[in-house]
Amino acid sequence: MYRSKRLRAACVILLLACGLLTACGTPVAGGASQATTSGAGGLTVFAASSLQEAMTALGTDWRAAHPGAAAAQYNFGGSQALLAQLRQGAPADLFATADKLTMDGAVAAGLVESPYPLARNSLVVVLPHDNPGHITALADLARPGLKIVLADKTVPVGNYTLQALDNLAADPAYGADFKRSVLANVISQENNVRQVLAKVQLGEADAGVVYGTDAQAANNAAGGSAQPVATVPIPDTANVIAVYYVAVVKGGARVDAARTFLAYATGDGGQAVLGQFGFLPAGATAAAPAGSRP
C-alpha cells in the first residue's frame, strides 16, 4: 500500500508538472514553468499559474484567427515570480497577473504598456477527494491538528486568502480567533497556487485555498493518477474577488502581435473563452485601446 501511494504521488507530480495535462515544460526561476509549443518565434506570454488552461486556449484561438502565426510560448508561475523575471530582463511579449498590485509594479518599473482588466476570480477551499481531515464546513479549518497549505502572502492568492480570513474573523459566526487558529494549522506556504493544489491532491494537506478555476481545472483533468478535489465554499460576504490584468511588455519582439492578442483576450470572444474555464467577466472596463483590435 505504501509503494502504491508513493507511485500515485509520483504520477500526480508528473501530471502537475505538465500543467494539469495541458502544457508540459521546463522549470524556470521563481516557481514558474516554461510551457513551449512547436513553432519557435511565436508570442512569449508570461501569465499567472491559474490562467494556464485558459491562456493556452486563448492562444490557440488567436492563432487560428491569424494564419501563419507561430504557436505561443508560455511561462506560467506566481505573478510575483514572473515580475521578478521581467525585472531581470527575461524576454516576453505579454504579461498577465492575478492582481493589480503586481501589475502596478510592472507599470512603475516601466516594463509594460497600459494594462487592462482581463478576468475576475474568487477563492475556494479544496480538500483531498477522500477528505482525511473530515472537514465538512469552513469553521472546521480552525480545528487543531489539521494540516493546511496556503500560498505565501507575496503571491496574489496568498494575499487574497489572508484578506478572506480577516473578513471571516470579523464575523461573529466564526469568531475573532478564527484567522489565528487557521494559520496555526498551516504547514507550508507555496510559491504559486498550483503548488497548493498539488499538495492537496497528493493528500499532503487536509485543505488548501485556491481559486475556483483551479478546483475546476483539477476536476476536469481528474482520471487515472490525477486526483479530483472536494470543495468548501467561502461565503460571498467574506470572499475576495481577484481581478486579473494583462499588458503588452515594452520592447518585446512582437509588440504588434501582442496588442492584437490583448485585444482578443479582453474582447467578447476572449471573455467567452475565459468563462468556459470558470473565470468571471472582467467587466466593461476591459475594453482594449482603440485601433488595437484585429
pLDDT in tens, 7-26: 444 444 444 434 443 333 33
More confident residue, 286 or 265: 265
pLDDT bucket at 66, cuts 50 / 70 / 90: confident
What total of structural domains would you count in the chain? 2
Q: Mean pLDDT of all residues in the chain?
A: 85
pLDDT in the model for residue 227: 84
**pLDDT exceeds 70 at position 73:** yes
**pLDDT exceeds 90 at position 292:** no
Alpha helices in the chain (DSSP H): 2-17, 52-64, 79-87, 100-108, 156-169, 178-184, 193-201, 212-221, 255-266, 268-276
Q: Do the domain assignments include residue 163? A: yes
Distance, in Å, from the CA atom of 16 to the CA atom of 37, rounded to the nearest integer, reads 17
- Asked whether the beta carbons of 23 and 17 are under 8 A apart, the reply is no
Does residue 222 share a domain with residue 164?
yes
**Domain stops at, among 214, 233, 252:** 233
For 263, the domain range is 32-121+243-286
- Taking only the tens place, the pLDDT of each residue in 228-281 is 999 999 999 999 999 999 999 999 999 999 999 999 999 999 999 999 999 999
User: What single letter denotes the amino acid at residue 98?
Assistant: A
Instruction: Give the distance from CA 151 to its chain's centroid.
Output: 11
Three-class secondary structure of residue 41 per DSSP: coil
Indicate which CATH number applies to the domain containing 221: 3.40.190.10
**pLDDT exceeds 60 at position 2:** no
**pLDDT exceeds 80 at position 44:** yes
